[in-house]
Structure 1
Amino acid sequence: MAARSKARKRALDVLFEAEQRGLDPATLLADRVTDPAGGPRVPEYAVELVQGVLAHRADIDELLTTYSQGWTLERMPAVDRTILRLGAWEIVWNDEVPDAVAVSEAVLLATELSTDDSPSFVNGLLGRLVEVKPTLV
């Protein structure tokens, strides 16, 4: 698995765990970076991803709500919601990652970690963000 793919998975782990346990994601990230407690180390790109999602969380959630037809954030499976937040940040706020790569990586995570319907949902919603991106920036 490529380094950035591993970092995306690690960022997903941190954000998902924080949501499920009701913890502050920034605090959990700091804890994982300083003391991984026997878990995998947190790559630098995972830290950038988590911090990026946290810095733009309200805007990301607004975009996901606006462009997810018939789905509220609360109705989405938690893992899908987290994958979408990571993908949205990479598409809209990270110019270093090509949009197609961000979408593809998010779809791979959804395929590996979520329901059978999740990859097409993630692909469709992030694909829509790619389409409207010129109007967002």
Structure 2
Amino acid sequence: MGARRQGRELALQILFSQDFSQNDRGALLEIVLEDAEPGAAAGQAFADGIVRGVQEHRREIDALIAEKSKNWALGRMSKVDLNILRLAVYELLFRNDIPKNVTINEAIEVAKKYGTEESPAFVNGILDEVASGLPEK
């Protein structure tokens, strides 16, 4: 697994943990790394950048997810799916170095690993909606 995939998985775990914890990003990163797969530290800087970006732009990201997710209020989404969407939407909006299709494919793969059986299709559908309104990178 590449460093960026590991970073996305670490970012997901940190974002998910923040929904239930008052710990700061650094403390959560240390906790997540303790239980992570060997070599996961290689994605640490990438994960930290994603988490910081999601935190900085969370209102904008959540508003866009809410707009594109027809019939699904954010509060009804699973926390795993919502945080996968947050990190992917951050990449789509603010990371010009990552092609849209790579972001979407990576989010789907992370959803397969951490979500439910329905998560990959759900994540794909919303991210396709988000990406369709964005210019090519």
Could you tell me the TM-score, scaled by structure 2's length? 0.87
Distance 1:9 1:36, change over 3 A: closer
How many residues get paired? 130
Q: Aligned residues: percent identity?
A: 33
Q: Shift of the alpha carbon at 1:60?
A: 0.3
Residue 116 of structure 1 is matched in structure 2 by 117
Once superposed, what is the RMSD of the aligned Cα atoms? 1.8
Q: Shift of the alpha carbon at 1:57?
A: 0.1
Distance 1:86 1:131, change over 3 A: same
Secondary structure, aligned partner of 2:133: helix
Alignment of 1:31 with 2:31, yes or no, is: no
Q: Shift of the alpha carbon at 1:36?
A: 6.6
Q: Shift of the alpha carbon at 1:33?
A: 5.0
Distance in 2 separating the partners of 1:93 and 1:85: 12
Distance in 1 separating the partners of 2:33 and 2:132: 41
Distance 1:39 1:125, change over 3 A: same
Where has structure 1 moved over 6 Å in runs of 4 or more? 34-37
Secondary structure, aligned partner of 1:43: helix
Secondary structure, aligned partner of 1:38: helix
Residue 77 of structure 1 is matched in structure 2 by 78
Residue 17 of structure 1 is matched in structure 2 by 17
Secondary structure, aligned partner of 1:22: coil
Task: Give structure 2 stretches of 5+ with no counterpart.
Answer: none
Distance in 2 separating the partners of 1:16 and 1:78: 7
